Amino acid sequence: MIALQQSAPAPDPLSVPSNAPEHCPGTESELAGKADACAGCANQEICASGQARGPDPALPLVRQRMSSVRRKILVLSGKGGVGKSTFTAQLGWAFAADEQLQTGIMDVDICGPSIPTILGIASEQVHASSSGWSPVYVQDNLGVMSVGFMLPSSKDAVMWRGPKKNGLISQFLKDVDWGELDYLVIDTPPGTSDEHLSIVQYLKESGIDGAIVITTPQEVALQDVRREIDFCRKVGIRVLGLVENMSGFVCPNCKNESQIFKPSTGGGRRLAQDMGVDFLGAVPLDPRIGKSADYGISFLDEYPDSPASAAYLDIIDREFSIFRCLLFEKSHVHRDQAKARKLSRSHIL
Amino acid sequence: MATADDTPVGRRLRSVKHIIIVCSGKGGVGKSSVSTQLALSLRASSPHARVGVLDVDLTGPSIPRMLGLDGHAVHQSSDGWVPVYADGGEARLGCMSVGFLLKRREDSVVWRGPKKNAMIRQFLADVRWGELDYLVIDTPPGTSDEHLSLVEHMAPVHARVSAVIVTTPQAVALLDAMKCLSFTRATAIPVLGLIENMSGYLCPCCGEISNVFSTGGGEEMARREGLRFLGSLPVDTELVSLLDAAQAENPESVEQLGDGGSARSFQLLERYQKTSTAPLFKAIVDKLLQALPPQVTSIENTGIEAA
């Protein structure tokens, strides 16, 4: 039985003023409570005493909650708009197609949550019960949590600085009643910042099984993706593989394929080679994918015969086989992660 | 606003006439490409126009590559950081980005909010822009630390700040663009207008126009929200390749360019003007210039319309 704190009510993301203290050095910082900016802060004494620097009190609760989740997978990309959320949704649907499996999708893109729309559950709300917040269910074995369910209207912008975003992420991990899950797929915002660091720190003890990195073929995107892979290495997350999205476009009229985003530097395949990660496959650009996402329907179910569906299924099959292999190497991976973490601690700012 | 000019940011930006923030809630809709085109077009708009581009996308800087300035470094002078000039000796198009501060291109910047905030303040206060007609600020996706920091630090020059919103036509992107609009309203930044990017794709083979990411959504949103619709831009593969490949092939050549300038990279403007997007974008810039508030000399004359 999970040791529960009293059930936290779903927060109202708009209730907090956007002007959080600006120069706070962060509670984990050496300067916490001692920096100039701390003068006058209500929490200065707590910070200065060093109590706040200890491990986050949420960690044991997160660990407990996550003990019933078998696999935790991150979907990452340094670049925005490359199809992280679309891929996450397809992956979720593909896992959930197996009735034996319980899958969860967690959307930690706090400022631009797209998952509710893509899964067609944008008008749903989160309910709090005695065992925590209930995820919103797309079907009985696919639960979803996103800040999108907590906003009064889709127009509202969540104008939060890092610490508030971290708070919500920790709540997603400890207060959501995920139940027994086989897979938890975590969709992330673009970049390498607060959300990414938080999710890694909170899941350090429970272990992240790996990250799937999404890119598009052009160099401007690859640049950001290189940085993301660099990030994974710094924090010791295994990169399960790279997916190239929007790779080639088949004209519906003449059926010829052209490259909208030209792989001027070799595209995802070459990047995967250079960085020494697996290339999982390339998904062609199909306007119907975007349309399905807008309408919140599963592209795989709707257009099972399209080349893009074949590409998706191929990639998902590969992932399944990677997860099967993971079972055997798990202890090995953990050792590697610990080593990488030790090496890289000094690099993370 | 008696103390308006007293902050280092206020003092530094006193010599900047217009500050244009390019934003969009969603990633990958073309903010950086619009910022780059905006800077190029504004520079070309008059023979003496001086333009600066500030890239505050700290964890995914794309501007250096698009302007063909990959691999350059920032120099320090007694009067602050010297921007990297894309047009060499003419020095009418300066650029500053965290990309110039990284040792290796693939290094990731893994920073939490307070560090990003400090970097942005430095960018605004310490870069020696000189006299500028336009400062174009490219932002990361979302409405978070970077955006709040920008608005906070630019409070002394708020009257000269306006925003352009970029979106793609599909519903998922419009949703995030709405959030971005709510942000500009909450912070009382006037919106010059909305640009719909990636609106249709012309098949190079048969000339058929496909709506890759649907179409018309941006115009519809502009009408609904009472925004000026600046125009829609189709996917232009020529432009994608131009900005993507912008002269990075020859790392050795970077050495000899020196002094933060590069005469070669300014072929970029000539080549840009030959793309099919350039005339479309020029129309957008013309509309945008009309929308800009008249040059304010006194701080009291605020340009807040959208509040």
Percentage of chain A surpassing pLDDT 70?
81
| The pLDDT of residue B176 is above 60 | yes
Q: Mark which residues 298-327 of A lie under 8 Å from B by CB.
A: none
Distance CA A231, CA A199 (A): 13
- Cα A79 vs. chain centroid, distance in angstroms? 13
Q: Mark which residues 104-163 of A lie under 8 Å from B by CB.
A: 109-112, 114, 117-118, 154-163
> In this structure, what are the phi and psi dihedrals at residue B135, rounded to the nearest 5 degrees?
-115, 115
A131: how many CB neighbours lie within 10 A of its CB?
14
Q: According to the model, what pLDDT value does residue A52 have?
A: 60
Q: According to the model, what pLDDT value does residue B296 have?
A: 53
| The pLDDT of residue A40 is above 80 | no
| The pLDDT of residue B222 is above 80 | yes
**How do residues B58-98 score in pLDDT, each as one tens digit?**
999 999 999 999 889 999 999 999 999 998 888 999 999 99
Which residue shows structure tokens 């802060």?
A41
| Weakest mean pLDDT among A27-31, A211-215, A258-262, A304-308 | A27-31
Q: According to the model, what pLDDT value does residue A267 have?
A: 93
Judging contacts by C-beta atoms under 8 Å, the chain B residues touching residue A81 are 26-29, 141, 168, 173
**How do residues B235-280 score in pLDDT, each as one tens digit?**
998 899 899 876 544 444 444 444 444 455 578 999 999 999 999 9
Percentage of chain B surpassing pLDDT 90?
69
Average pLDDT score over residue span A273-302: 94
Higher per-residue pLDDT: B13 or B257: B13
Higher per-residue pLDDT: B151 or B71: B151
> In this structure, what are the phi and psi dihedrals at residue B164, rounded to the nearest 5 degrees?
-120, 130
Higher per-residue pLDDT: B65 or A56: B65
At B306, the pLDDT band (50, 70, 90 cuts) reads: very low
| The pLDDT of residue A129 is above 90 | no
Distance CA B110, CA A235 (A): 10
At A74, the pLDDT band (50, 70, 90 cuts) reads: very high
| The pLDDT of residue A16 is above 50 | no
CA distance B184 to chain A (A): 10
| The pLDDT of residue B114 is above 60 | yes
Judging contacts by C-beta atoms under 8 Å, the chain B residues touching residue A194 are 112-113, 144-145
Residue type, B4: A
Distance CA B60, CA B52 (A): 19
| Weakest mean pLDDT among A143-152, A181-190, A229-238, B210-219 | B210-219
CA distance A231 to chain B (A): 6
Average pLDDT score over residue span B119-131: 95
Question: Do β-strands A142-146 and A136-139 pair in parallel, antiparallel, or remain unpaired?
Answer: antiparallel
A134: how many CB neighbours lie within 10 A of its CB?
18
Judging contacts by C-beta atoms under 8 Å, the chain A residues touching residue B148 are 18-19, 159, 161
Higher per-residue pLDDT: A340 or A117: A117
Domain spans of chain A, in order of start: 27-56, 59-347
Q: According to the model, what pLDDT value does residue A55 have?
A: 74
Distance CA A296, CA A298 (A): 7
Q: According to the model, what pLDDT value does residue A145 have?
A: 97
Average pLDDT score over residue span B176-192: 96
Q: According to the model, what pLDDT value does residue A25 have?
A: 61
Burial status of residue B104 (CB atoms within 10 A of its CB: 0-12, 13-18, 19 or more): exposed
Q: According to the model, what pLDDT value does residue A255 have?
A: 80
- Structure token digits, residue A257: 């394929």
Asked if residue B150 lies in contact with residue B4, where contact means CB atoms within 8 angstroms, the answer is no
Average pLDDT score over residue span B167-185: 95
ipTM, two decimals, is 0.86
Domain spans of chain B, in order of start: 4-258+269-291
Does the domain at B4-258+269-291 match CATH 3.40.50.300? Answer given as yes
Q: Class assignment of domain A59-347?
A: alpha beta
Q: According to the model, what pLDDT value does residue A67 have?
A: 94
Binding residues of A for [4Fe-4S] cluster: 24, 38, 41, 47, 251, 254
Average pLDDT score over residue span A7-17: 54
| The pLDDT of residue B285 is above 90 | yes
CB contact under 8 A, B244 and A160: no
Distance CA A237, CA A213 (A): 11
Residue type, B23: C
> In this structure, what are the phi and psi dihedrals at residue A203, rounded to the nearest 5 degrees?
-100, 10
Q: According to the model, what pLDDT value does residue B100 have?
A: 94
Closest in A26, A161, A229 to B144, CB measured:
A161
> Nearest residue on chain A to B67, judged by CA atoms?
A220
